[in-house]
Amino acid sequence: MLEQVLIAGFGGQGVLSTGQLLAHAGMIENKHVAWIPSYGPEMRGGTANCGVTISDHPISSPMVTEPTTLIVMTRPALEKFEKAVVPGGRILINSSLVEQDVKRDDVLALKIPANKIAEEIGNPKVANNVILGALIKLTGIVTIESVVESLKKVLPPRRHNMIPANQEALERGAQLAEKLS
Amino acid sequence: MSKILMKGNEAIGEGAIRAGCRYFFGYPITPQSELPHYLAKRMPEVGGVFLQAESEVSAINMVYGAAGAGMRVMTSSSSPGLSLMQEGISYLVGAELPCVIVNIMRGGPGLGNIAPAQGDYFQSTKGGGHGDYKLITLAPESVQEIIDLMAKAFDLADQYRNPVMLLGDGILGQMMEPVELGEIKEVKQADKPWAASGMKGRSNSNIINSLYINPEDCEKLNEKLFAKYAEITDKEQIWEEYQLDGAEIVLVAYGTAARICKSAVDKARAKGIKAGLIRPVTLWPFPAKVIAKIAQSVNCLLTVEMSMGQMVEDVRLAANGVCPVHFYGRSGGMVPEVAEVLAKIEELTAGGDRE
Amino acid sequence: MMKKIFTRPKALTDAAFHYCPGCTHGIIHRLVAEVIDELGAADNTVGVCPVGCAVFAYNYFNVDMFQASHGRAPAVATGIKRALPDRLVFTYQGDGDLASIGTAEIVHAAARGEKFTTIFVNNAVYGMTGGQMAPTTLLGQKTTTTPKGRDKDNNGYPVKVAEMLSTLDGAAYVARVSVHNPTHVNKAKKVIKKAFEVQIKGLGFALVEVLSSCPTNWGMAPNEALKWLEDNMIPFYPLGVYKEPAEVK
């Protein structure tokens, strides 16, 4: 198993921390993981992205230039990275923020109204985990339990009250992915 | 012991602390800033000193002071900052002071950019500052290897009384990977009877100095340094061999470029191309022994760098004309893609067997 | 019964100074060494010498010494003092070293309140490299790079180091003295001692600017040079204590 996930959006959308959460979950399952932030001229600019590699084998190149899954939070991110996804790969779109459709027909494209679902849960901050839940359902790279376990590790104790809402977001995303795919 | 997820830059800091380093002097520059951020928090926890200097010039001279006082000390910067430090590094070598200098390279020349690059290979391995000298240069490829090499870096510096460079690129600094930190061990540090730390009953004063006004004496210093360098060249070459079994084309790459090459080698092997990789871990001393040996059995070597081609010159010297040495590189902050390297491998192996 | 009333300070080695006849570096070295002796600190002192005429000072001070690159002595001393806070640390620097190439280092060491002592020897000229204009060369003063005299329009104005550094909060003690006659030599010693006591008390950065003569590069006999210092340098570089903490007053 080798999954290379590219998460792309704007700074402030939690792109980098969502990637770290995924990498952390992979690590506690004893998989090989690597996380690379968007790195280059846009490091302090508006756009933000990160690549997460999760594998059963030692990771040679940690660069995510040909993602198996692309998660997009903004229209420019979709336009920029749509072509990079490997044939047969997946593109998960936060359709609360991006109206455009995927043009390719050789990838699985899922539109997930993550912000809408997060609002239904009652916490707009958990939108990214709705998408993460969908990714987990589609790929099986980690389990939702490992992500929840990771949240306990990466969140400071005073934020642990956020964990139930995050868990719900992950599960709602997984359910949606099962329904859509 | 469980693994933790850590950025390369943070791992350099933690590795240094675990190696007994208690003094850090540095000046902010991207893309190494997470390292001073980390040590600003961590050093006070272990009773150490973190000090933000007014410039890289000052930082390296603070290193000179603390190293001459007998302490394990480190500084870090990125390419333009290293250019500023070169005079100080030359003085450190001349005074035979141990220390560790980190360069998380970025695109150049000039102000360049903050993207990852390997354009400072020459500067790191060929001297860099004025005069006749070498730096032991270590090039990790992963966050775990950073942790492992930091202890080695400080030990080598003390053993040979020479600065050691830890050379990485922006990706290595920014990347997060799981690391096994292991137990915190008591670090046994070498005695430094030469340190200028107050005479404290000694009858002769210790002098930290690189001034040898008499040319005969200065030549003796150079000969002493180069006797040391001959020993280092003989004993300290480190490299990794990857997929060399029956290899017909062997790539040579270090750091992040080596990680990319490993993927390219895997893909080439999957296509039936007998490709392999030698990854120098010490850039100086350059692992010439293994390159000379492998040159005998392959059709060609392919050096891949995030530069216009610097290490390739050492590969050519080591191969010594026994086999062709090709080059592929991207520069200015661009990173070679696996597909590009694979295409180069395919191009070079399309011609069939060695003539 | 004979009584020894004058001897070489223990903090000086037996090496003969290489300084030119009439140069006041030797006097200043001696004052620093006498102060180290009086403080009983020779065993616990680390000095840093500059690039300039005093580059060989490590041969003269019988304490552990560093030779620093040009202008960087305050950074080196910072590294030493941070590593060994209980040692007495001093830098000994000339005007080119401290007030030209090393301005960043001295300003920031002072601003940080680094707890070491700087002896700043101002003789208004580059000595070792051949009498070129220094940052402290007076307007109109002839040097090998200002053959018609320092011209404000071309070379700008001399730097008043003691005044400048005394504006910094981290500088605890800043004074300017001269060594052009025995009275002032004695005064200079008291001030230098105070600058070391400020360090021992941990009060912050201490600097003593010492007006010094350079007969060779000024092209004067030693006695003429001392007179020139008194008549020309002191009016421009007023002597006195610019900053003094209450603890040592």
Query: Would you say residue C214 lies in a domain?
Result: yes
d(CA C111, CA C116): 12
What's the pLDDT score for residue B354? 46
Interface check for B25 against chain C (CB to CB < 8 A): the answer is yes
Q: Does the beta-carbon distance from C58 to B209 stay under 8 Å?
A: yes
Instruction: Looking at the complex, report in whole angstroms how far the Cα of residue A168 sits from the nearest Cα belonging to chain B.
Output: 25
Query: Would you say residue C3 lies in a domain?
Result: no
Q: Does the beta-carbon distance from B114 to A27 stay under 8 Å?
A: no
Distance of CA B10 to the CA centre of its chain: 17
Query: Coil, strand or helix: which one is B290?
Result: helix
For tokens 């040159």, name the residue: B295
Classified by CATH at the fold level, domain B240-349 comes out as Rossmann fold (3.40.50)
Judging contacts by C-beta atoms under 8 Å, the chain B residues touching residue A34 are 175-177
Let me know: does B7 contact B33? Beta carbons within 8 Å. no
Residue C47: pLDDT over 90: yes
pLDDT in tens, C156-187: 999 999 999 999 999 999 999 999 999 999 99
Query: Coil, strand or helix: which one is A58?
Result: coil
CATH number at residue C90: 3.40.50.970
Distance spanning both ends of chain A, measured CA to CA: 20
ipTM: 0.94
Q: Is B310 exposed, middle or buried (0-12, 13-18, 19+ CB in 10 A)?
A: buried
Number of domains making up chain C: 1
Provide CB contacts within 8 A for B324, sequence distance 6+.
B299, B300, B301
Structure tokens at C88: 């007495």
Instruction: Looking at the complex, report in whole angstroms how far the Cα of residue B251 sits from the nearest Cα belonging to chain C.
Output: 42
Instruction: Looking at the complex, report in whole angstroms how far the Cα of residue A175 sits from the nearest Cα belonging to chain B.
Output: 29
Query: Would you say residue C169 lies in a domain?
Result: yes
d(CA B118, CA B104): 9
Interface check for B52 against chain C (CB to CB < 8 A): the answer is no
Query: Would you say residue C8 lies in a domain?
Result: no
d(CA B213, CA C164): 35
List, run by run, the mean pLDDT of 10-residue segments along chain B (355 residues). 90 97 96 96 97 98 98 98 98 98 97 95 97 98 97 98 97 96 87 97 96 97 98 98 98 98 98 98 98 98 98 98 98 95 97 52
Classified by CATH at the fold level, domain B4-235 comes out as Rossmann fold (3.40.50)
Q: Does the beta-carbon distance from A35 to B115 stay under 8 Å?
A: no
Judging contacts by C-beta atoms under 8 Å, the chain C residues touching residue B210 are 67
Residue A176: pLDDT over 70: yes
pLDDT in tens, C64-86: 999 999 999 999 999 999 999 99
pTM attached to this predicted model: 0.95
- Percentage of chain C exceeding pLDDT 90: 96
> What residue segments make up the domains of chain B, in order of their start?
4-235, 240-349
Residue C103: pLDDT over 60: yes
Question: B240-349: same fold as B4-235?
Answer: yes
Q: Does the beta-carbon distance from B69 to C55 stay under 8 Å?
A: no
pLDDT in tens, A81-140: 999 999 999 999 999 999 999 999 999 999 999 999 999 999 999 999 999 999 999 999
Residue-range definition of the domain harbouring residue C148: 25-248
Query: Would you say residue C15 lies in a domain?
Result: no
> What residue segments make up the domains of chain A, in order of their start?
2-180
Task: Return phi, psi of residue C96, to 5°.
Answer: -65, -45
Judging contacts by C-beta atoms under 8 Å, the chain B residues touching residue A66 are 338-339
Which of C25, C50, C8, C15 has its CA nearest to residue C188? Answer: C25
State chain A's maximal CA–CA distance in angstroms.
45
Query: Coil, strand or helix: which one is B116?
Result: strand
pLDDT in tens, A28-73: 999 999 999 985 545 555 788 999 999 999 999 999 999 999 999 9
What's the pLDDT score for residue B355? 42
CATH of domain A2-180: 3.40.920.10
Q: Does the beta-carbon distance from C72 to B198 stay under 8 Å?
A: no
Q: Which of B5, B115, B261 sits opposite A27 (nearest CB)?
A: B5
Q: Count how many pairs of residues, chain A against chain B, have C-beta atoms within 8 Å.
A: 71
Q: Which of C56, C62, C75 sits opposite B53 (nearest CB)?
A: C75
Q: Which of B57, B207, B210 sits opposite C72 (nearest CB)?
A: B57
